[in-house]
């Protein structure tokens, strides 16, 4: 299946089969793919937590709003967290990035208001989401990206000190009665000519 076909076939899973687990090899591939995600100046202002533990998933399900059952039933819950402490971030890039990248940050980003720098970092983590969902499609893994969670409560439950939960993704195998499957619910997009143009 080529990339276009993958995008035509993937959909957001709404109901999972709790008895189907993703095998360890595929989970390891997803971890490596996330680790290779691109970001501006290779800043990587994030961390990712893979959760299989049912007790912890159930606890997080309680602060996942309308996504409660998906979090409980999925094979794994992946939590995407962005750095929320600029001192921590600056230490991380100074230890891991070349001088040119650090100087770019100090020259063009650090002088901005803190809210703008944090917004820039948050933009980076959405790149990782696109990479992750595409990787799931290529590996035949069903996925549900979720902003509809209480991120601050996730942050508290997970004991994060320098990061803030931005969103989470359920992965697993869809339930045969998942009504969002394409055979029940056709994929709908705005016509491409209305959103894509050439100049």
| Tally of domains within the chain | 1
Q: What pLDDT does residue 194 have?
A: 94
What CATH number did the domain enclosing 87 receive?
A: 3.40.109.10
The pLDDT, as a whole number, for residue 8 is: 92
pLDDT digits (tens, 9 = 90+) for 100-136: 999 999 999 999 999 999 999 999 999 999 999 999 9
Residue 76 token pair:
């794994």
Q: Around Cβ 126, how many Cβ atoms within 10 Å?
A: 14
Q: Give strand ranges (E) for the chain.
A: 46-51, 76-83, 142-146, 163-172
Residue 188 lies in a domain: no
Does any domain span residue 48? yes
Rounded CA separation 37/16 (Å): 27
12 by DSSP, 3-state: which? strand
In a domain, 193, yes or no: no
How far apart are the C-alpha atoms of 124 and 105, rounded to whole Å?
14
Q: Is residue 37 part of a domain?
A: yes
Residue 131 lies in a domain: yes
In a domain, 190, yes or no: no
**Mean of pLDDT values over 146-169:** 98
Question: What is the mean pLDDT of the segment spanning 143-164?
Answer: 98
**Has residue 192 been placed in a domain?**
no
Kindly report, residue by residue over 5-41, the tens digit of the pLDDT: 989 999 999 999 999 999 999 999 999 999 999 999 9
Whether pLDDT at 185 is above 90: no
Residue 6, token pair as written in the block: 């993958």
Give the rounded distance of the alpha carbon of 45 from its chain centre.
13
Residue 1 has pLDDT above 90, yes or no: no
71 lies in which domain range? 3-178
Q: Which residues are CB-contacts of 9 (< 8 A; sequence separation ≥ 6)?
A: 1, 137, 182
Using a cut of 0.85, tell me whether the model's pTM lies above it: yes
d(CA 164, CA 156) in angstroms, rounded, equals: 9
Identify whether 128 is part of a domain: yes
């Amino acid at each position: 299946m080529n990339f276009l076909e993958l995008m035509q076939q993937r959909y957001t899973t709404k109901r999972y089969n709790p008895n189907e687990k993703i095998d360890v090899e595929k989970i390891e591939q997803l971890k490596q793919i996330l680790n290779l995600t691109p970001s501006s100046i290779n800043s990587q202002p994030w961390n990712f937590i893979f959760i299989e533990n049912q007790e912890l998933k159930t606890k997080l399900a309680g602060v996942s709003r309308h996504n409660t059952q998906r979090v409980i039933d999925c094979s794994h819950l992946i939590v995407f967290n962005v750095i929320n402490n600029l001192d921590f971030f600056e230490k991380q890039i100074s230890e891991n990035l070349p001088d040119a990248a650090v100087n770019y940050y100090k020259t063009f980003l650090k002088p901005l208001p803190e809210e703008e720098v944090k917004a820039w970092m948050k933009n980076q983590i959405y790149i990782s989401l696109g990479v992750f969902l595409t990787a799931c499609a290529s590996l035949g893994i069903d996925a549900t990206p979720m902003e509809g969670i209480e991120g601050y409560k996730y942050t508290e439950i997970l004991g994060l000190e320098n990061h803030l939960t931005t969103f989470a993704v359920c992965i697993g195998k869809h339930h045969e009665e998942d009504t969002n499957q394409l055979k029940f619910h056709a994929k709908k997009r705005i016509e491409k000519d209305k959103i894509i143009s050439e100049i």
